[in-house]
Amino acid sequence: MFKGSSVALVTPMQKDGSIDYEALFGLVDWHIDAGTESLVVLGTTGESSSLTLTEREHVIAAVVSQVNGRVPVIVGTGAASTSVALEYTQQAQSLGANGALLVTPYYVKPTQQGLFEHFSLIAQRCSIPQVLYNVPSRSGCDLQPETVARLAREPAVVALKEATGDLHRLKALLDLQCGLNLLSGDDASSADFMLQGGHGVISVTANIAPEQVKAVCTAALSGDGALARQLNEPLRELHASLFLESNPIPVKWLLEDMGRIQGTLRLPLTSLGCMHHEMLRMSAKSAGVNFND
């Protein structure tokens, strides 16, 4: 379940900010047809922090129903508060999700012991398979490899999404032999991450180029470094351009430009600056993305 090409899926919204379920179902089917191996909903890219508990329930239930067992559905359930993260994880489990993605508590800057106790409590109270998520650039804290190894003793903890982009961190995790599947959370370094022992990627770029990202994953996980790097080369500019502004601002703009969704964001996120439009569009075309124009 926690290997290969996973997409950190956007949450499409109507112009009034309500969830656009028709567009969401279209994305789900498109990704499955393109070979995406699992769908990650309500993560950072899915604007999870802007959704109410009721909206989360409706999105999870809708995606699980639309997927209908074709691929695993992983739900972002992390929060700054342990009690809220527990509630989100219990909700995902009760609605039939296949896994939960738990980002480190953000803003509060817990110690390593605090992180250990936070994740341990959730793992002991929820049996749903859990993916720890380390993204210090957003959360303000760094889940250290030694803490990951301690948490790996919990049966429910099965994987780690490591988004530092630091391949030395990957080596440290592999050296600890903690038995978790290690997933890249950084598109720019994901090919090398997999070639050096990682097991897959949870990708923002896959929102735009799912077939291309899947092809890179297949080559990298088979050990064909030359092919993986050849396939990844046209994606490099797109990997970078999707972070010209805070994620998911660029990816939602580009999906609208492709005719797949309306690019509506919820405040405090605002529309992509016009100075970035052409650069983003050209990077997608260079990656082989098709537009409806």
Active-site positions read 133, 161
The structure tokens 């769908």 sit at 39
Amino acid at residue number 100: A
CB 201 within 8 Å of CB 188: no
How many angstroms separate the CA atoms of 77 and 99, rounded? 10
CB 143 within 8 Å of CB 113: no
How many angstroms separate the CA atoms of 31 and 174, rounded? 30
